[in-house]
Structure 1
Amino acid sequence: MSIPTPTKERKKVIRTASLSGSLYVLLEGQLRFLNQYYDILAIGSDPDKWYIEKLAEREGIRSNEIIIERKIHIFKDIVSLYKLYLLFRSEKPFMVHSITPKAGLLTMTAAYFAGVPKRLHTFTGLIFPTKTGLMKHLLIFFDKIICRFATHIYPEGNGVKKDLLAYNVTKKPLKVIANGNVNGIDLNVYNPKAFSQTENILLRKQIGIEEKDMLFLFIGRLVNDKGVNELVNAFCEIVKTYTHAKLVMVGSHEGEFDLLPPSTWDKINSQPAIFCAGHQDNVRPFLAASDIFVFPSYREGFPNVVLEAGAMELPSIVTDINGSNEIIKDRTNGLIIPSKDELALFNAMQLMITDNALRTKMATNARPMIASRFKRSEVWSAILKEYQAIDSTV
């Protein structure tokens, strides 16, 4: 793997995440773009020993692995903190920029003590609003540390910004870049015209979905926090009346801690109208072949998958949470329902099935509303502009 040689013209920027897979998935193409202007070094954990090398190869950047545990592990966290400190002292970047909670905590702390001039953190989502008791206070404390050591703080969306302000996490300026989201959407890649009707019908038949069926699609981790219990329960009621309704679930529960209860798995496995497709590296064929996207998550920062669904001309059912309620306008390009509300989800799914005119209107609006606000090239340009503005103050 060839590693670009840093030049005098390009200042050094280090991007970090707890998992290198997060950089690989969330920042596709962005690091290559920024590498034209800055010498980009990517840092993250790589349990599978795959992402970090593929990331460097795809983006044309340098990369290094430092283990960063996602969960609290005091001894390992101290080791990671020290390794980051040594790396920053050795590389001497003018800027570090972290995403994901644990990477933010360790990166901002290590960079502060290593004397890195500019320390940026993007809050891609907040965990504490859905927690209670001691854990909630602990998570708020950690986010306060991130903000204490960061010089620039970027909520991924206005919902995240409001939560940071409401919980008094910081008094520093908070800036949402562009209209939110860390990477925007590539409208050439997520384009329904890239898939023919024949291809869509073939995929549906392969998984037992007839052309006349109304296909709901869920994409995400199969865990409680994504609203999977409510989705499965609501759909099992829907299919009693609307026998042509089908549900495809794309995602996995492997390696997760927030496991679904056995009762939910029993319903999934016993309901012939539900098809579990497992993890898919490419979700576009499923989006192209579906009729409605449903995403009843409890919490998000700014969900890429809702952007992707909209770009593929799917009307969406989402919960009234950060990010989702910034992408979807109720009854314009989708439906917004309360979180953790099984009856509201049932009613929304039923409305999608029965009101053809509303569903068609929302589908027609879906792609233009994404294209006008979240085009990838415009997000990249906004990030570069931010970097250059910071650069000018060094």
Structure 2
Amino acid sequence: MVTSSVTATTFLRGYLRFLREAGWDVTLVCDDGPGVIELAGASGVRYEPLHMEREPSPLEDARSLVQCARLLRRLRPDVLVYATPKASLIGAVAGWLVRVPGRNYELWGLRLETSAGFSRRLFALLERLTMVLSSRVIANSASLAQRVSALGLNGGREVFVLGAGSSHGVDTERYSEEATMPDLDADVKAMLQRSPAPIVGFVGRLHPDKGVDTLIDALRICSQRSVAAQLLVVGAQEGVTLDTGIEGPIPIPVHAAGFTQEVRPLLRAMDILVLPSRREGFPNVVLEAGAMKVPAIVSDATGCVDAVIDGVTGVVTPVGDAHALASALETLLTDPDRRESMGAAARAWSEEAFVPTAVWRLHSDCWAGEGGVR
């Protein structure tokens, strides 16, 4: 179970087929949307639509819960696996009500980390409820598991981390400099060619949680230090407005490429990926960039800190510290050899620790040990 069809089509390609071929009888449950029926068909699994509102909506959530309980009574699964906040809450409650033997919460992040006041207390309550009603909690990074325990959300129960973390690894054949992929969009290519400066990339929602403001401030400091760069931003606008450039002794152009399902040509164009996020679970884009030999500078926020080996495949800087980020940027922007060596190390780490089939097998075996019959 996941909340959105977009999550299913983005993260479960290959995973569903792997599970079926590993001996599971699989049913995918999520909201209806483009591509999800085709995904299920191509994977050889069943699909059951279940509408769930992403934001809190008591009446709609109650309807979804009743429908989920009815669905589970009909399917009678041995194992229920849920990820994303709303699907996990509804799945945990419904699974507990109908006594599904194995209820596995795949925890991909904590929304409460960037919330405050009543919202934070509410999200904490819902997380505790989800974890208490689950028979197993699997965090996708070590720092996320530690954060859950520090906040007391797990009631003292163990939170599992499998392998090096990540929800599904990275396909190093698809994410490769040598892979066949579309050409870079002509307009974006033209924008980037206006400057010979190295390209700093950001990929993600343009939301305050992602720390885009810290990145802009850091690049402004780089400009003051006469460090040349240009910024390529990939993602949908969600509350953060970008200017077309950063003024200073050496102006830094800002290119907004918008949202795209095909990010590989854009990653290939980057020299450095920056993710100054304030919270994550395990940022897949860092693995994707690394597989394409692009080193990353990340914050030390939950999840982000697990996505690089500091000083080897990338650099970790404190959350919200624009000066520290500027220093890391200056080091890599002015040293192409170091960028290259870190990129090569990031590719090697992806191939060693995050092969999708190995990650999927860890999760499959874990579920089978908790009420699973295959």
Pick from 179, 187, 203: which aligns with 1:194? 179
Which residue of structure 1 lines up, in the alignment, with residue 300 of structure 2? 320
Q: 1:267, 1:118 → 2: CA distance?
A: 51
Name whichever of 234-243 and 374-383 sits farther off: 234-243
Out of 303, 309, 314, the position equivalent to 1:334 is 314
2:213 paired residue number: 229
2:164 counterpart (161, 179, 189): 179
**Would the alpha carbon gap of residues 147 and 28 (structure 1) be closer, same or farther in structure 2, given more than 3 Å must change?**
same
**Alignment partners' CA distance in 1, 2:217 and 2:289:** 23
1:265 aligned to which of 242, 246, 249 = 242
Secondary structure of 1:372 counterpart: helix
1:79 aligns with one of 45, 60, 63: 63
CA separation of 1:242/1:286 partners in 2, compared to 1, >3 Å: closer, same or farther?
farther
Residue 12 (structure 1) aligns with: none
The answer to whether the 8 A contact 1:204-1:210 is kept is no
**Offset from partner CA, 1:165-187 (integer Å, 9 cap, x none):** 11111222221122211111111
Distance between the aligned counterparts of 1:362 and 1:102, measured in 2?
Answer: 37
1:57 and 1:206 mapped to 2: Cα distance?
Answer: 40
Q: CA deviation at 1:272?
A: 7.1
Residue 320 (structure 1) shift: 0.4
Gaps of 5+ in 2: none
Q: Secondary structure in 2 aligned to 1:17?
A: coil
Query: 342-351 vs 81-90, which deviates more?
Result: 342-351
Alpha-carbon shift at residue 155 of structure 1 (Å): 0.9
Give, in whole Å, the separation in 2 of the partners of 1:217 and 1:330: 19
Match of 2:51 among 67, 70, 86: 67
The 5 Å alignment of 1:85-124 reads 85-124=69-108
Instruction: Output the CA distance in 2 between the equivalents of 1:284 and 1:336.
Output: 23
8 A Cα contact 1:42 1:62, kept in partner: yes
Whether the aligned pair in 1 keeps the contact of 2:135 and 2:370 (CA below 8 Å) is no
Change in CA separation of 1:265 and 1:93 when aligned onto 2, cut-off 3 Å: same
Provide the C-alpha distance between the structure 1 equivalents of 2:246 and 2:330, rounded to a whole number of angstroms: 22
1:333 CA drift (Å): 1.2
Question: Could you tell me which residue of structure 1 aligns to residue 126 of structure 2?
Answer: 142
Alignment partner for residue 276 of structure 2, among 268, 290, 296?
Answer: 296
Name the SS for the 1:18 alignment partner. coil
Structure 1 residues 379-388 or 79-88, which shifts more? 379-388
Query: Contact between 1:204 and 1:211, CA under 8 Å: does it hold in 2?
Result: no
Deviations 1:84-137 (A, max 9, x none): 011111111111110011111111001111121211111100122332222222
Describe how 1:1-394 pairs up with structure 2 within 5 A. 16-36=1-21, 37-46=23-32, 49-170=33-154, 171-194=156-179, 205-209=189-193, 212-239=196-223, 242=226, 244-253=228-237, 256=238, 259-260=239-240, 264-266=241-243, 273-391=253-371
Q: Is the 8 A contact 2:243 2:254 kept in 1?
A: no
Query: 2: distance between equivalents of 1:392 and 1:123?
Result: 19
Counterpart in 2 of 1:11? Answer: none
**Does structure 1 retain, via aligned residues, the 8 Å contact 2:5–2:34?**
no
User: Counterparts of 2:24 and 2:218 in 1: how far apart (Å)?
Assistant: 49
Change over 3 Å in CA distance of 1:129–1:205 after alignment to 2: closer
Indicate conservation of the 8 Å contact 1:234/1:345, yes or no: yes
Q: Write the distance in 2 (CA, Å) between the matches of 1:390 and 1:379.
A: 18
Would the alpha carbon gap of residues 327 and 206 (structure 1) be closer, same or farther in structure 2, given more than 3 Å must change?
A: same
Query: Is the 2:102–2:367 Cα contact (8 Å) retained in structure 1?
Result: no
Kept after mapping to 2: 8 A contact 1:327/1:370: no
Whole-Å Cα distance in 1 between the matches of residues 252 and 338 of structure 2? 28
Q: 2:244·2:255 contact (CA, 8 Å) conserved in 1? A: no
Secondary structure at the aligned position of 1:276 is classed as strand
**Which stretch shifts more, 173-182 or 157-166?**
173-182
TM-score by length of 2: 0.91
Instruction: Describe the SS at the equivalent of 1:38.
Output: coil
Q: How far is the alpha carbon of 1:142 from its aligned partner?
A: 0.7
Please state how far the C-alpha of 1:52 moved relative to its aligned partner: 2.4
The alignment's TM-score, normalised by the length of structure 1, stands at 0.87
Give me the identity figure in percent.
29
Query: How far did 1:390 drift?
Result: 2.9
The structural deviation recorded for 1:232 is 2.3
The root-mean-square deviation of aligned C-alpha atoms, in Å, is 2.5
Segment of structure 1 superposing worse, 53-62 or 370-379: 53-62
Amino acid corresponding to residue 108 of structure 1 in structure 2: A
Secondary structure of 1:192 counterpart: coil
Question: Which residue pairs with 1:13 in the alignment?
Answer: none
User: What is the distance in 2 between the residues matched to 1:30 and 1:321?
Assistant: 28
* Whole-Å separation in 2 of the counterparts to 1:51 and 1:235: 38
